[in-house]
Amino acid sequence: MRVADVGEFGLIERVTSRLTYGPATLLGPGDDAAVIAAPDARVAASTDVLVEGRHFRRDWGSARDIGHRAAAANLADIAAMGGTPTALLVALCMPPELEQSWAEELADGLAAEAATVGASVVGGDMSSSPTLTIAVTALGDLGGRPPVTRSGARPGDVLALAGRTGYAAAGLTVLSRGFRTPRLLVEAYRRPEVPYAAGPQAAGLGATSMIDVSDGLVADLGHVARASGVAIDVRRDAFEVPPQMRDAAQALGADPYAWMLGGGEDHALAATFPPGVDLPPPWRPIGLVAAGSGVTVDGKPYTGSAGWDHFR
């Protein structure tokens, strides 16, 4: 059955009937607005949009996968402020001929990814559109701590990473060349494994800055360097290329470090910490902050792809 056959209200009913709600959901879908708990009298909020053909392809992953990815991109933004996500709102624009099961499975993926951090899909909107588009807003709680911004890094700080980089970019390259393996990389692209808990953990450890690595590590550290007015140097030997990635890079004529340093969408968290902080897992040191500007790799300007501009 196509979404046009079910209709807007029918589809909303089908989708919301599949959802469950965590304790932060004081009022769920079905009214003019949802109501979500904001225990410390502040709410962190972030919006990301995914456009078919630009951010995802329906033949590169299931609707459920795409739901996981769309949710992860937003939940990671909350984690990168040191917050714990509480809720997602989803605007879904669909071609009328789309199968309604696709929309239901997308919602399942969004809800399942949100549930991994105790958050819920609490509202949204649907419309027909020639272009399949998923706009997600994530809300989160900062647990009484100041938000960890991009602008607090100081010379002498340690740069640390939680989570993986390059896996999703490698998986995307594999898929775009028409392959479906290695599974490790393809699955990393389809459902990023985001170290959500590392966000509040870093805030508790006194992180001076933090960012969600979504555009590529060097590009995103560039945002931190600019906002903080510092230079950041990344140690290349802090990155270990897994065998599957090494083999895939060789087969495809790619540089695995271009994936690791330039590829986005694994949603690792990068943070800076005052010198001397004892970093528990999953945090691992990967570089240093110094006076100056810009991002270097092993002290040299990075010459690989610096990330992704969504208009170019």
Interface with a copy of itself in residues 56-95 (CB under 8 A):
76-78, 80-81, 83, 87, 89-93
CB of 311 to a copy of itself, least distance (A): 5
By CB under 8 A, tell whether 112 contacts a copy of itself.
no
Rg (CA), the chain: 20
Q: Closer to a copy of itself by CB, 244 or 305: give it.
A: 305
Q: Return the residues of window 193-212 that contact a copy of itself according to CB under 8 A.
A: 210-212
Q: Rounded to the nearest 5 degrees, what angle is found at the Cα of 194, between the Cα atoms of 236 and 107?
A: 145
In the list 44, 111, 119, 248, the residue contacting a copy of itself (rule: CB under 8 A) is 44
Residue 265: name the closest of 193, 175, 198 by CA. 193
Q: Closer to a copy of itself by CB, 3 or 106: give it.
A: 3
By CB under 8 A, tell whether 48 contacts a copy of itself.
yes
By CB under 8 A, tell whether 33 contacts a copy of itself.
yes
Q: Closer to a copy of itself by CB, 103 or 175: give it.
A: 103
By CB under 8 A, tell whether 135 contacts a copy of itself.
yes
Largest Cα separation within the chain, whole Å, is: 61
Q: Closer to a copy of itself by CB, 43 or 288: give it.
A: 43
By CB under 8 A, tell whether 30 contacts a copy of itself.
yes
Measured between alpha carbons, how far is 175 from 51 in angstroms, rounded to an integer?
18
Give the three-state DSSP class for 172: helix
Q: Is the dihedral of CA 166, 167, 168, 171 positive or negative?
A: positive
Q: Return the residues of window 224-243 that contact a copy of itself according to CB under 8 A.
A: 227
- How many Cα neighbours within 13 Å face the side chain of 230? 22
By CB under 8 A, tell whether 3 contacts a copy of itself.
yes
Q: How many residues belong to the chain?
A: 312
Q: Tell me the sheet residues that pair with 268.
A: 213
Cα distances (angstroms) measured from residue 155 to each of 141, 208, 217, 226, 230:
29, 11, 19, 13, 7
Q: Closer to a copy of itself by CB, 227 or 290: give it.
A: 227
Is-contact 18 63, C-beta < 8 A?
no
Mind giving me the DSSP string for 246-302?
HHHHHHHT--HHHHHHH---S-EEEEEE-TT----TT-EEEEEEESSSEEEETTEE-
Q: Return the residues of window 144-163 that contact a copy of itself according to CB under 8 A.
A: 147, 149-151
Q: Closer to a copy of itself by CB, 55 or 191: give it.
A: 55
Binding residues for ATP: 124-125, 150, 214
By CB under 8 A, tell whether 37 contacts a copy of itself.
yes
Q: Which stretch binds a copy of itself (CB under 8 A): 129-137, 154-162, 275-283, 291-299?
A: 129-137
In the list 253, 281, 300, 312, the residue contacting a copy of itself (rule: CB under 8 A) is 312
Is-contact 16 125, C-beta < 8 A?
no
